[in-house]
Amino acid sequence: MQNKLFFIFILILFSCKEKNKKLQKQFYDNGNLEYEFTIIDDSLKHGIYKSYYKSGELKHIGNYVKGNVQDSLIEFYKNGKIKGKGIIKNGYKFGWWLHYNQKGVLAGKSEFLLHESKFLKNQSIIYNNNGSINDSLSYYFKINIPDTIPLGKSLGKLELYKSLIKSEKLYIWVIIDNEYKDNIIVKDSFSDGSLKPKFGIFSSKVGLKKVKGEVYEVAFTKEKDSMNEFMNIDKKFFEKIVYVKDTI
């Protein structure tokens, strides 16, 4: 009897939740569907949504979570090929986004991240038609940090750094948020005069650790037909989860 009552209660609860869901559709002035999505609690968009071009072709597929666009978002050309795709977090692009041309070939990718409560574009790689990287339009870097590091000191390296700024005077520092004893975090700075400096990572305890840092760029440029130099400063950010093992 108790099991039967429990089943009825769950059925009623599920039915109430289903009643709170309403499918909404919006149309263009030509009668074609523009949007379709589900709302809950009479106002909040929640679940899969789709948008369409005025001519009827699918334009976007995404997902709402209680009023905010979240998770995967895919954008299409009118010919049905994917135009771009990536992850949405708190209403903003997050992580690596891929961009395609109308033939479905990868044209570029960009990395977005959250830094100090602001979403920003951290890296951008543009490809030529033959698949090679267009260095005149791209800025990116590669950090080498082992997946497993020892307790205490270990090394990482900036393997590659590509700047948009054309300068013979380009200086690079890697700055690491190193956590020492008593949870004291110190921003340690590393540079050896090259564009591929090594940097130190300090680990005070065994287990998972987030290695967090930035690449700090200073470039000096001159305007055409001028002897005046201008200093340009830029920052790129990175983080990686590693495992710290006991060296004993």
167-212 pLDDT per residue, tens? 778 999 999 999 887 778 899 999 999 999 999 999 988 999 999 9
Give me 161's structure tokens.
Answer: 């750094």
Asked if 99 and 194 sit in the same domain, the reply is no
pLDDT tens readout for residues 48-71: 899 999 999 999 999 888 877 888
Give CA–CA dist 143/197, Å, rounded: 10
- Say whether 66 sits in a helix, a strand or coil: coil
Binned at pLDDT 50, 70 and 90, residue 217 comes out as very high
Average pLDDT over residues 219-226: 76
Binned at pLDDT 50, 70 and 90, residue 19 comes out as low
pLDDT for res 18: 46
pLDDT tens readout for residues 81-101: 999 999 998 888 999 999 999
Asked if 122 and 180 sit in the same domain, the reply is no
Average pLDDT over residues 116-120: 87
135: in domain: no
Look at residues 98, 118, 127 and name the one whose alpha carbon lies nearest to residue 110.
Answer: 98
Q: Is the pLDDT of residue 113 over 60?
A: yes
4: in domain: no
Asked if 166 and 203 sit in the same domain, the reply is yes
Asked if 210 and 154 sit in the same domain, the reply is yes
pLDDT for res 15: 42
CA dihedral 120, 126, 131, 132 (to 10 degrees): -110
Query: pTM to 2 decimals?
Result: 0.80
Looking at 126, 148, 181, the residue that finishes a domain is 126
Looking at 126, 148, 168, the residue that finishes a domain is 126
Asked if 226 and 203 sit in the same domain, the reply is yes
Give CA–CA dist 50/204, Å, rounded: 48
- Domain enclosing residue 211, as ranges: 140-245
pLDDT for res 226: 67
Query: Diameter of the chain by CA atoms?
Result: 92
Binned at pLDDT 50, 70 and 90, residue 109 comes out as very high
Asked if 115 and 150 sit in the same domain, the reply is no
| Cα–Cα separations (whole angstroms), residue 134 to 7, 140, 143, 165 | 61, 11, 20, 14
Give ∠ CA 47-49-55 in degrees, rounded to 5.
Answer: 170
Asked if 174 and 118 sit in the same domain, the reply is no
2: in domain: no
Q: Give the CATH number of the domain where residue 228 resides.
A: 2.60.40
- Amino acid type, 169: K
Asked if 103 and 68 sit in the same domain, the reply is yes
Phi, psi of 75 (to 5 degrees): -115, 140
Tell me the average pLDDT of the chain. Answer: 87
Average pLDDT over residues 217-234: 81
159: left (phi over 0), alpha (psi -120 to 50) or beta: alpha
**Sheet arrangement for strand 185-190:** 148-150, 229-245, 207-222, 169-179, 185-190
Phi, psi of 91 (to 5 degrees): 85, 0
Question: 66-70, 139-143, 236-240 — which is least confidently predicted?
Answer: 66-70
Q: Is the pLDDT of residue 12 over 90?
A: no
pLDDT for res 202: 94
Tell me how many domains the chain contains: 2
